[in-house]
C-alpha cells in the first residue's frame, strides 16, 4: 500500500492531466449526444426535419406552378446544350 501511495504522489501531475482530459471528453460526448441525436440512419433530427421541409416546399412549388419535374433543367445543362449548338 505504501508503494501505491508513493507512486501516486510522485506522479500526481500526470493523473490530474489525464483526468482533466477524460472529463472534457466525457462532457463533450454528452453535449454532442444531447444536441445532435442521431437517428437509425445516422442523420440528426435537424437534418431530417430540414430535408422534410425542403421536400414539402418542392411539392408545394410544383403543385402551384404545375410544372412537370422531368422538364425542369439546370443552368449548367442549358449551357451545355448552347455550347453543343454553337459547335
Report field, pTM of the whole predicted structure over 0.85? no
Structure confidence at residue 15 (pLDDT): 92
Query: What is the Cβ-side half-sphere exposure of residue 34, based on CA atoms within 13 angstroms?
Result: 6
**Any idea where the domains of the chain sit in the sequence?**
1-35, 40-87
* pLDDT tens by residue, 6-27: 998 899 999 999 999 999 999 9
pLDDT surpasses 90 at 37: no
Using 50, 70 and 90 to split pLDDT, how confident is the model at 50?
Answer: confident
Which carries the bigger pLDDT value, residue 57 or residue 64? 57
Amino acid at each position: 500500500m505504501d508503494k501505491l501511495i508513493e507512486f501516486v504522489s510522485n506522479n500526481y501531475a500526470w493523473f490530474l492531466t489525464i483526468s482533466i482530459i477524460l472529463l472534457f471528453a466525457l462532457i463533450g460526448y454528452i453535449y454532442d449526444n444531447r444536441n445532435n441525436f442521431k437517428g437509425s440512419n445516422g442523420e440528426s433530427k435537424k437534418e431530417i426535419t430540414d430535408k422534410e421541409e425542403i421536400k414539402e416546399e418542392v411539392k408545394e412549388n410544383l403543385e402551384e406552378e404545375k410544372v412537370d419535374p422531368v422538364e425542369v433543367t439546370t443552368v449548367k445543362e442549358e449551357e451545355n446544350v448552347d455550347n453543343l449548338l454553337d459547335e
